[in-house]
Structure 1
Amino acid sequence: MIAVITADLIDSSLYSRTLLNNVLKVLNAEFDNVQQECPNDDLKFKIYRGDSFQGVTTNLKLALQIALRLKSCLNKIKVEREEEVSRVDAKFAIGIGSFDFKAATLAESNGQAFQFSGRTLDEMKNDTRRIRLKTTSENINAEFEASLFLLDAIMEKWSRASAEVVYYLLLEMKETEIAEALSISQSAVNQRKKACGWEAISVLLKRFKTTVAETF
């Protein structure tokens, strides 16, 4: 069993070349970071078509956390006033299932997880959803269809400052460490932590990890 995370940048056709290059640079750097932090995991990420990316992990429990980490990483990118978009964002589809054909590249690989992730992302193209999940378990699908819908509502209210704090919280850093990294006070970190809905997000992440571990 594997988890496949497939994502499309939102309104990337409106990005200036400078912004798009910066986004791709940030994504590639984050892919390297995630892969280095999980040396025992067969974790791979690849950008394709210039505005989409896909990753595979055998650590199913971390799939949602990785997706949120990539989303917060994008949301915290500074967008200049002359840009036609207000922030950088993406739609994420997580598929959990079998890995039926492992090829030399992600684009050539196939299986349940790839199909679940790709088809779910296709279904999201004409709606406002930002993150969805499809697995072999209908019970899990039903539970997280509802909870991830609520997560969408929380994430929609993130400011760039909130996304910065979420990113570091997903790295499991303490408030004092985040304050030092952002050169702000610990109280400011705490305020942003509350504003981004971190308490609810952390409960959801724990629930996801527990449910996935018990099911798969």
Structure 2
Amino acid sequence: MIAVISADLLSSSSYSKELLEQAIRALNREFRELEKLTHPASEFEIYRGDSFQGLIYAPQEALHFALRIKTAINRLHLNDSESNKAFKREADLKMAIGIGSYDFKRDSILESNGQAFQLSGRTLDEMKKYNRKLRLKTPSDNINEEFDASFLLFDTLSDKWSTASAEVIYYLLKGFKETEIAAELGISQSAVNQRKKAAGWDAIDVLLARYKKVINEHFSNGK
């Protein structure tokens, strides 16, 4: 079993050239880092300039990867001179995670196919009719129902993030400690802690742990 992430930049036609360039650079940077975290290496490809697809051989890591990518985009802004302040988010993603078999392998993942690709792609298409930004589709209806509710709550939480909130969550997802984030951003540890709480990190951490446990039990190690 593998995981496939299919995603679109939201309302990318309204992005300035500078913001779109920032988004593409951020995506490519995250892809290069994430590809090294699994064995075999994960694969990501951008297409149409505002969409991407990722193949992850460790499906239990797919949500963590998706949130890394989301926060890398959510933290973007064009106010470089005041980069440590909170701004309204200017960029976001719509993402669908599909978990299933990998039936047709090609050199490019955009030419590959299988259950995971179909579940991910079809779910992303369905999401365009609704105000949803993150969904999961697997062969298990029970798992789909559980995480449909959880991801809806996550959407509600993350829609309230500022760029500063997303940036702190981004570094937490990378494994940084509060003191390390403070040093990276040039702010106090107490400011990091405040942003962490405001962004709902404790709930996100629980969601990540639950996802990993469930997917490990049902779909890892060839199941």
Structure 1 residues 101-131: Cα deviation after superposition (integer angstroms, max 9, x where no partner):
0101011100000000000000011221110
CA shift in 2, pair 1:5/1:35, >3 Å: same
Where do residues 119-198 of structure 1 align in structure 2 (5 Å cutoff)?
119-198=122-201
Amino acid corresponding to residue 76 of structure 1 in structure 2:
R
Q: Give the deviation of 1:86 after TM superposition.
A: 5.1
In structure 2, how many angstroms separate the alpha carbons of the residues matched to 1:39 and 1:130? 25
Q: Is the 8 A contact 2:38 2:57 kept in 1?
A: no
Normalising by structure 2, report the TM-score. 0.92
In structure 1, how many angstroms separate the alpha carbons of the residues matched to 2:164 and 2:33? 21
Alignment-derived partner of residue 69 in structure 2: 70
Amino acid corresponding to residue 194 of structure 2 in structure 1:
Q
Q: Is the 8 A contact 2:19 2:77 kept in 1?
A: no
Alignment-derived partner of residue 43 in structure 1: 42
Q: Is the 8 A contact 1:79 1:88 kept in 2?
A: no
Q: Give the deviation of 1:158 after TM superposition.
A: 0.7
Q: Give the deviation of 1:39 after TM superposition.
A: 5.2
In structure 1, how many angstroms separate the alpha carbons of the residues matched to 2:22 and 2:197? 29
Normalising by structure 1, report the TM-score. 0.95
Alignment-derived partner of residue 117 in structure 2: 114
Alignment RMSD (CA, Å): 1.4
Q: Is the 8 A contact 2:77 2:89 kept in 1?
A: no
In structure 1, how many angstroms separate the alpha carbons of the residues matched to 2:117 and 2:53? 9
Structure 1 residues 32-55: Cα deviation after superposition (integer angstroms, max 9, x where no partner):
11123x152330000001100110
Alignment-derived partner of residue 20 in structure 2: 20
Structure 1 residues 51-70: Cα deviation after superposition (integer angstroms, max 9, x where no partner):
00110011111100100110
In structure 1, how many angstroms separate the alpha carbons of the residues matched to 2:10 and 2:139? 28
Structure 1 residues 163-206: Cα deviation after superposition (integer angstroms, max 9, x where no partner):
00000010111111111111110000000000000000000000
In structure 1, how many angstroms separate the alpha carbons of the residues matched to 2:115 and 2:201? 32
Structure 1 residues 4-27: Cα deviation after superposition (integer angstroms, max 9, x where no partner):
001000000111222212211111
Alignment-derived partner of residue 2 in structure 1: 2
Alignment-derived partner of residue 31 in structure 1: 31
Q: Is the 8 A contact 1:79 1:86 kept in 2?
A: no
Q: Is the 8 A contact 1:91 1:131 kept in 2?
A: yes
In structure 1, how many angstroms separate the alpha carbons of the residues matched to 2:152 and 2:33? 28
Is the aligned partner of 1:57 residue 2:56? Answer: yes
Q: Is the 8 A contact 2:75 2:89 kept in 1?
A: no
Amino acid corresponding to residue 96 of structure 2 in structure 1:
A
Structure 1: tracts of 5 or more residues without a match? none
Amino acid corresponding to residue 13 of structure 2 in structure 1:
S
Count of residue correspondences:
212
CA shift in 2, pair 1:205/1:86, >3 Å: closer
Instruction: Report SS of the residue matched to 1:32.
Output: helix
- Bigger shift: 39-48 or 107-116? 39-48
CA shift in 2, pair 1:214/1:86, >3 Å: closer
Amino acid corresponding to residue 149 of structure 2 in structure 1:
A
2:203 is matched with which residue: 190, 197, 200?
200
